[in-house]
Amino acid sequence: MENKIICFGEIMLRLSPPNHQRIEQADSFNATYGGAEANVAVSLAHFDQPTSFVSRIPDNQLGDTAVSQLRMHGVDTSGIVRGGERLGTYYLEVGVMHRGSQVVYDRAHSGFATLTENTIDWIKVFEGATWLHWSGISPAVSEEAAKVCFEALTVAKSKGLTVSCDLNYRSKLWKYGKDPKEVMPQLIELTDIVLGGKEDARIMLGVEFDENDGYDSAPKKIKAHFPHLKMVATSLRKSFSASHNNISGVLFDGIEEFRSAAYDMPQMIDRVGGGDAYMAGLIYGFMNYADAPQKIIDFAAAASCLKHTIHGDASLTKVSEVVGIMGGKDAGLVSR
């Protein structure tokens, strides 16, 4: 598998009460599997990109199911190491109208959280690969996982891979005694392309913003703080309610800024994974529209928009569907 994209992170069991119930109301849960980097991998596989997911997953029935779900979507799982006591779990209470969604994590001591250095053969993993994607969630899970991130990025850069990161700050993680600013900057120094918002950059990277800086200022500020970065992007989300958002994006190459169209999403099905679909769109764009940055950000925003119509963590859309939205194709018509 040549020109392979490697996505490194944790996949978890997601449990959600049906019909917008609160967790305390639920006597059953809908089960799916997902996680930031796994969602990116699945999205890219549906874009017909050769993609491999790398992680540590327990050798039990839940682990088997997680692996089979990835394979079902066309993701290569040969780089997954089996081990650890448990698969991480998270409970998602899906919000509606003015009640926001809530996440409860149950991922301590998971197979991924207890992953240690020298467990994954990165030289072998990166054979035939040109890209590594990681997110700020992985080093937030445990100090051991943060060290493995650094290990992976160091080898990736020595092999000449392009490295991308979605900052993905999670306030409910980072509980092992390290501030994100003690960990993330050294990892970003080994990264080429970053997706992140204003608060992500401030909390995780120590980027300073002026009082009047808008959310769209993040790419330029991050690039100024880390001048080695090739591209910096941010997604701009306006939230009118838990069911109604608006999404667009900004991409900065160090000289010029590119902005996508804004997509109104008044009846979202599932907003979880919207940022991961956006990241997958960016990666696809960089690999297929390298000389057209406007097309890259347009593709990313349209890909994210479509994800909000799909249940579960990952986007299951085709390139043709994304391109259709980019081109202003009439929405909602029956294709026949």
Whole-angstrom Cα distance, residue 261 to residue 238?
13
Percent of the chain with pLDDT over 70: 97
pLDDT at 54 over 90: yes
Contact 269, 159 (CB under 8 A): no
Indicate the average pLDDT of the chain: 93
Among residues 48, 54, 194, 42, the alpha carbon closest in space to that of 123 is found at 54
pTM of the full predicted structure? 0.94
Burial class (CB in 10 A: 0-12, 13-18, 19+), 118: exposed
Kindly tell me if the per-residue pLDDT of 333 is higher than 70: no
In the predicted model, is pLDDT for residue 213 greater than 80?
A: yes
- Contact predicate 62/15, CB 8 Å: no
Nearest to 259 by CA among 294, 290, 288: 294
pLDDT, tens digit (0-9, with 9 covering 90-100), for 163-191: 999 999 998 899 999 999 999 999 999 99
- Predicted confidence band of residue 331 (pLDDT cuts 50, 70, 90): low
Segment 204-211 shows an average pLDDT of 93
What token pair was written down for 246? Answer: 């608006």
Mean pLDDT, to the nearest integer, of 264-293?
Answer: 91
Contact 234, 197 (CB under 8 A): yes
pLDDT category at 242 given cuts 50, 70, 90 is: confident
Domain boundaries, the chain: 4-9+36-53+122-325
127-145 tens-digit pLDDT:
999 999 999 999 999 999 9
Confidence of residue 268 (pLDDT cuts 50, 70, 90): confident
Alpha helices in 12-87 (DSSP H): 36-46, 61-72
Which fold is adopted by the domain 4-9+36-53+122-325?
UDP-N-acetylmuramoyl-L-alanine:D-glutamate ligase (3.40.1190)
Place of tokens 């609160």: 22
* 311 and 35 Cβ atoms separated by less than 8 Å: no
The pLDDT tens digits for 148-161 are 999 999 999 999 99
The model's pLDDT over 96-126, given as tens digits with 9 standing for 90+, comes to 888 888 889 989 999 999 999 999 999 999 9
